Amino acid sequence: MVGVTVAVVQFGGSNCDRDAVRALEHVGVDAERVWHEDGLPADAEGVVLPGGFSYGDYLRAGAMAARAPILAEVREAAADGVPVIGVCNGAQVGSESGLTPGAFTTNASARFQCEPVHLRVERADTPWTAAYDEGDVVEVPIAHGEGRFEIGEAAHADLVADDRVLFRYCDADGNVTDAANPNGSTDNVAGVLGERETVAVLMPHPERATLPDLGRSTDGAGILRAFT
Amino acid sequence: MTAYTATVTVRLKRGVLDPEAETTQQALERLGFELSDLRSADRFEVDLEAGDADEAADRADEMAERLLANPTIHDYDVAVAER
């Protein structure tokens, strides 16, 4: 869409920022990388917190980037209704910064896992999932060592009651099972919404499932079309 | 002002899975050690100057709240000693 410029925020150690720009441009979104120290452009009409290993995952994945000054600007923009999505390390940054509830921590396997997974679309009435129907199954890859979603019992009850689970890990038929849970996430949660539906984080990589040349799935493109 | 070391210990809340600790425990068992359980924690030693020990503890507490610990998964405690 003409006029929409999405800022892909680059930290030292981000490594999916170029992929995100390429994938966004593929779906017709004007996107540019923004170095975090330069601040969020005033005309940014969307924000992507990309994947990678910001600050070398020191302390906890995403912990340092979440306290970078640009995140205060991102939180303000999010509160104003600017769409913000965090992917993988960006999801860790988003949850560490309080944009979304819960935390992402070490996979139950204690291993880095890079593999395709299936996700069930739990909400289709958000900008991120308008391309899908509720219950749709999409295939998008994960690539993380700290993707296990953890949230306290009371906060989990609130999360479910408020219908803020966006995606759950499932099998190819859409069944949400332990076997289909790649990392031990609470309630198979793969992605959640913030206080506004325009804010979301997810561990899987939609930008790696957008370009047809890249491989097996282009199911992630629908998520990025939120910015169109 | 007095010089203190505030020691902040950050550990996973009880019940939160700790795959690194489990892996470490398994490695110890492979080495022939017998143990019932193993928990790990991060320890931060913060040297600072403060009017008294309470003030030093308060500042270390705020450091834990704002950065060193993630309240969703962590508990922490602070111990202050003159240095």
**Chain A residues in contact with chain B using a Cβ-Cβ cutoff of 8 Å:** 59-60, 63, 67, 95-96, 101-103, 105-110, 148, 150-152, 155, 184
Phi/psi of residue A137, nearest 5 degrees = -110, 125
- Write out chain A residues lying below 8 Å of B70, CB-based: 60, 63, 96, 103
The answer to whether the beta carbons of residues A151 and A159 sit under 8 Å apart is: yes
Q: What secondary structure letter does DSSP report for B68?
A: I
Q: A62: domain CATH number?
A: 3.40.50.880
Measured CA to CA, the distance from residue B40 to residue A212 in angstroms comes to 44
Q: How many domains does chain A have?
A: 1
- Residue A1: pLDDT above 70? no
What digits encode the pLDDT tens for the residues A12-59?
999 999 999 999 999 999 999 999 999 999 999 999 999 999 999 999
Tell me which long-range contacts B54-59 makes (C-beta under 8 A, separation of at least 24). B56/B2, B56/B4, B56/B6, B56/B80, B57/B6, B59/B6
Query: A55, A60, A156: best mutation site toward chain B, by most B Cβ within 10 Å?
Result: A60
pLDDT band at B61 (very low <50, low <70, confident <90, very high): very high
ipTM of the complex: 0.91
Range of the domain at A138: 5-227
Res A214: pLDDT: 86
Per-residue confidence (pLDDT) for residue A215, from 0 to 100 = 77
Band (A3; pLDDT cuts 50, 70, 90): low
Average pLDDT over residues B24-44: 97
Q: Return the pLDDT at B9.
A: 98
Question: What's the rounded Cα separation, in Å, for the pair B54 and A58?
Answer: 29
Write down the catalytic residue from A88, A96, A156, A197. A88
Distance CA A104, CA A119 (A): 17
Phi, psi of B39 (to 5 degrees): -125, 145
pTM of the predicted model, to two decimals?
0.95
DSSP string, chain A: -TT-EEEEEE-TTB-SHHHHHHHHHHTT-EEEEEEGGG---TT--EEEE--B-GGGG-SSTTHHHHTSHHHHHHHHHHHTT--EEEETHHHHHHHHTTSSSSEEE--TTSS-EEEEEEEEE--SSSGGGTTS-TT-EEEEEEEESS-EEE--HHHHHHHHHTT-EEEEEE-TTS---STT-SS--GGGEEEEE-SSTTEEEESS-GGGGS-GGGSS--TTHHHHGGG-
Helix (H) or strand (E) holding B75: strand B74-82
The answer, yes or no, to whether residue B80 has pLDDT greater than 50, is: yes
Taking only the tens place, the pLDDT of each residue in A183-212 is: 999 999 999 999 999 999 999 999 999 999
- Sign for the pseudo-dihedral over CA of B53, B59, B63, B65: positive
Mean pLDDT of B4-24: 96
Hey, are the CB atoms on B67 and A150 less than 8 Å from each other? Answer: no
Record: contact B67-A109, CB cut-off 8 A: no
Other CB atoms closer than 10 Å to residue B66's CB: what's the count? 9
Please tell me the distance in Å from B21's CA to the nearest CA on chain A: 9
Mean pLDDT of A129-158: 98
Residue in chain A closest to B22 (alpha carbons) equals A110
Active site residue A88: yes
Q: What is the pLDDT confidence band of residue A4, given thresholds at 50, 70 and 90? A: low
Q: Which of A93, A105, A153 to mutate to test the interface with B (most CBs of B within 10 A)?
A: A105
Give the residue numbers in B contacting A (CB under 8 Å), as ranges.
16-20, 22-23, 66-68, 70, 72-73
The pLDDT tens digits for A100-119 are: 999 999 999 999 999 999 99
Subunit contact A110:B67, Cβ cutoff 8 A: no
Residue numbers in B near A102 (CB within 8 A): 72
- The minimum CA-CA distance between B73 and chain A, rounded to whole Å, is 7
Q: Which of A101, A151, A184 sits opposite B17 (nearest CB)?
A: A184
CATH numbers and ranges of domains, chain B:
2-82 (3.30.1280.10)
H or E element, residue B46: strand B41-50
pLDDT band at A2 (very low <50, low <70, confident <90, very high): very low
